[in-house]
């Protein structure tokens, strides 16, 4: 497979935002939400997905592509193995525009590994829920605060910038959560990460979590939402609405268990729903997904929003009829905006409009009667979908030039 870097920019043009404008009655965002940063954790959280492990070259290639795409930060763990440490080192040396974050535990020896890699930004994580403190770490809440504050002070005394992630924050006691946030803010932490580690929150719940912390500290906040109930993207956006300024994603949503919010969905929602002018190249989204698909062998589901094979397939006759006259009837943005392709499926469901379109693509100018006959013939076969066509824009245009009598 060959990957080409399209590189054209991403700001949605007027013609690409028709669907958004049509939904404005309900989707209007009233308050000024400020800027949002994208942190990609494909190399850290993504490598925790079952069946996924990257080679050093793949890690560097992925990071390079993500940087070119335009994410603000890339996270990688240097503590898993010597190979990961070397990858982290090389990534930091590569001089990308994105900040490279070395992801480590709240232990001085882990922070030393990050320092050894020449990191300037690190992400430190420590559990805060009672279930994790009692059963995973077997320590008290007080001990957790001590470890967190020590880690922040240690990192700051070495000139590092750091995010401190409060693992399992969504299931932690909220007054304890507030105290630990205050303590690490006092110790000088640069960002606080609020993960929904188990993917248990609903969007309003994530909003409340971020708001709870927002009300007690001024530190910029990250959200990291797992997808166990399929709510990761919605929860990330709710966290953003509550004041978080950085969203964690991975390509294709890869991560521990069923993963976290997918890059493509989050950036498209930010661009379309929130009208955010991100500095990312949206037309690389499909390419990034394909790259990960190829490197991991984990097939991207066809039904995956934005980048899946089915995202731009049209099948029912009434849909085909509308799509060829006005793509915005059934497409959020044109497929090329996200580097995907439109496909028309012909078969049992084509109807007279689909049949007429097929005949026109083949160079004929069918009468209504002929189109109806072909549609009936396609139904009689009872074969479901017969075939699909991916049309070039020219061919599609040609077919439309023929007189449309329907
Ligand atoms: C983990 C847990 C984590 C950390 C998130 C973060 C989570 O696997 O280490 O550091 O932002 O979901 O809580 O991924
Ligand atoms: Cu996670």
In a domain, residue 222? The reply is: yes
Q: What is the pLDDT of residues 297-321, one digit of tens each?
A: 999 999 999 999 999 999 999 999 8
Q: Is 304 in the pocket of ligand 1 (CB under 6 A)?
A: no
Query: Which of 275, 296, 317 lies at the terminal end of a domain, its last residue?
Result: 296
The minimum-distance atom of ligand 1 relative to the CA of 167 is 13
Same domain, 62 and 173: yes
Rounded Cα distance, 383 and 122, in Å: 56
Ligand (nearest to CA of 259): 2
Q: What is the residue-averaged pLDDT of the chain?
A: 93
pLDDT band at 20 (very low <50, low <70, confident <90, very high): low
Least confident of 10-14, 163-167, 282-286, 355-359: 10-14
Tokens matching residue 97: 């525009």
Q: In what order do the strands lie in the sheet with 313-314?
A: 313-314, 343-347, 385-389
Q: How far is CA 131 from CA 127, 141, 170, 192, in A?
A: 9, 11, 12, 21
Q: What is the pLDDT of residues 186-233, one digit of tens each?
A: 999 999 999 999 999 999 999 999 999 999 999 999 999 999 999 999
Same domain, 326 and 347: yes
Same domain, 290 and 258: yes
In a domain, residue 4? The reply is: no
Residue 3 above 90 pLDDT? no
Q: What is the pLDDT of residues 247-276, one digit of tens each?
A: 999 999 999 999 999 999 999 999 999 999
Taken in order 212, 216, 218, 223, the sign of the CA dihedral is negative
Q: Is 255 in the pocket of ligand 1 (CB under 6 A)?
A: no
Same domain, 137 and 108: yes
Query: Which of 265, 296, 327 lies at the terminal end of a domain, its last residue?
Result: 296
Query: What is the gyration radius of the CA atoms in the chain, in angstroms?
Result: 24
Same domain, 229 and 357: no
In a domain, residue 20? The reply is: no
Same domain, 399 and 330: yes
Same domain, 139 and 288: yes
Give 194 Cα–ligand 1 centroid separation in angstroms: 9
In a domain, residue 239? The reply is: yes
In a domain, residue 18? The reply is: no
In a domain, residue 22? The reply is: no
Residue 31 above 80 pLDDT? no
HEC string of the chain? CCCCCCCCCCCCCHHHHHHHHHCHHHHCCCCCCCCCEEEECCCCCHHHCCCCCCCHHHHHHHHHHHHHHCCCEEEECCCCCHHHHHHHHHHHHCCCCCEEEEEEECCHHHHHHHHHCCCCEEEEEEECCHHHHHHHHCCCHHHHHHHHHHHHHHHHHCCCEEEEEEECHHHCCHHHHHHHHHHHHHCCCCEEEEEECCCCCCHHHHHHHHHHHHCCCCCCEEEEEECCCCCHHHHHHHHHHCCCCEEEEEHHHCCCCCCECEHHHHHHHHHHCCCCCCCCCHHHHHHHHHHHHHHHCCCCCCCCCCCCHHHHEECCHHHHHHHHHCHHHCCCCCHHHHCCCCEEEEECCCHHHHHHHHHHHCCCCCCHHHHHHHHHHHHHHCCCEEEEECCCHHHHHHHHHCCCCC
pLDDT at 403: 65
Ligand (nearest to CA of 79): 1
Residue with CA nearest ligand 1 atom 2: 167
Rounded Cα distance, 383 and 377, in Å: 11
For residue 230, give every residue at least 6 positions away whose Cβ sits within 8 Å of its Cβ, in sequence order, or none: none
Is-contact 223 204, C-beta < 8 A? no
The minimum-distance atom of ligand 1 relative to the CA of 193 is 11
Q: Is 45 in the pocket of ligand 1 (CB under 6 A)?
A: yes
Rounded Cα distance, 80 and 73, in Å: 20
In a domain, residue 9? The reply is: no
Same domain, 287 and 315: no
**Paired sense of beta strands 313-314 and 246-249, if any:** unpaired
Same domain, 98 and 180: yes
pLDDT at 399: 72
Same domain, 265 and 331: no
Q: How far is CA 238 from CA 36, 209, 235, 255, in A?
A: 13, 10, 5, 20
Express as a percent the part of the chain with pLDDT over 90.
85
Choosing from 126, 132, 167 the residue with most ligand 1 atoms within 8 A of its CB, the one to mutate for a pocket test is 167
Tokens matching residue 88: 């982290």
Give 249 Cα–ligand 1 centroid separation in angstroms: 12
Give 61 Cα–ligand 1 centroid separation in angstroms: 23
**φ, ψ of residue 184 in degrees (nearest 5):** -75, -30
Give 260 Cα–ligand 2 centroid separation in angstroms: 7
Give 44 Cα–ligand 2 centroid separation in angstroms: 9
Identify the CATH number of the domain in which residue 75 sits: 3.20.20.70
Is-contact 111 156, C-beta < 8 A? no
In a domain, residue 344? The reply is: yes
Query: Which of 236, 265, 296 lies at the terminal end of a domain, its last residue?
Result: 296
Give 376 Cα–ligand 2 centroid separation in angstroms: 52
Same domain, 57 and 90: yes
Number of domains in the chain: 2
Same domain, 284 and 371: no
40, β-bridge pairs = 74, 249
Which domain range does residue 368 map to?
309-405
């Amino acid at each position: 497979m060959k990957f080409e870097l399209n590189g054209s920019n991403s700001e949605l043009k007027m013609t690409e935002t028709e669907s958004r404008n049509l939904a404005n009655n309900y989707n209007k965002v009233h308050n000024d939400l400020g800027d949002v940063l994208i942190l990609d954790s494909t190399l850290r959280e993504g490598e925790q997905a079952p069946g996924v492990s990257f080679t050093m070259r793949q890690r560097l290639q992925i990071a390079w592509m993500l940087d070119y795409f335009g994410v603000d930060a890339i996270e990688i763990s240097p503590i898993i193995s010597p190979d990961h440490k070397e990858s982290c080192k090389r990534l930091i040396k590569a001089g990308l525009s994105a900040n490279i974050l070395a992801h480590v535990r709240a232990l001085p020896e882990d922070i030393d590994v990050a320092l050894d890699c020449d990191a300037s930004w690190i992400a430190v994580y420590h559990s805060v829920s009672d279930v994790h403190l009692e059963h995973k770490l077997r320590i008290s809440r007080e001990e957790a605060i001590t470890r967190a504050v020590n880690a922040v002070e240690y990192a700051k005394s070495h000139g590092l910038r750091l995010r401190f992630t409060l693992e399992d924050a969504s299931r932690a006691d909220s007054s304890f959560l507030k105290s630990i946030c205050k303590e690490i803010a006092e110790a000088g932490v640069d960002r606080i990460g609020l993960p929904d580690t188990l993917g248990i929150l609903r969007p309003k719940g994530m909003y409340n979590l971020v708001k709870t912390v927002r009300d007690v500290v001024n530190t910029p906040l990250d959200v990291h939402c797992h997808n166990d109930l399929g709510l990761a993207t919605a929860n990330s956006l709710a966290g953003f609405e509550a004041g978080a300024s950085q969203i964690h994603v991975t390509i294709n949503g890869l991560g521990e268990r069923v993963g976290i919010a997918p890059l493509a969905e989050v950036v498209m929602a930010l661009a379309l729903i929130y009208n955010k002018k991100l500095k990312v190249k949206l037309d690389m989204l499909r390419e990034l997904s394909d790259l990960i698909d190829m490197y991991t062998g984990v097939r991207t589901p066809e039904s995956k929003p934005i980048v899946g094979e089915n995202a731009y397939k049209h099948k029912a006759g009434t849909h085909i009829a509308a799509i060829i006259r006005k793509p915005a009837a059934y497409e959020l943005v044109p497929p090329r905006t996200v580097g995907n392709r439109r496909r028309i499926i012909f078969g049992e469901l084509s109807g007279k409009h689909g049949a007429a379109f097929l005949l026109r693509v083949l160079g004929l100018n069918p009468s209504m009667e002929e189109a109806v006959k072909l549609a009936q013939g396609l139904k009689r076969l009872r074969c479901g979908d017969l075939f699909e066509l991916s049309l070039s824009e020219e061919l599609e245009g040609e077919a439309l030039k023929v007189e449309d009598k329907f």
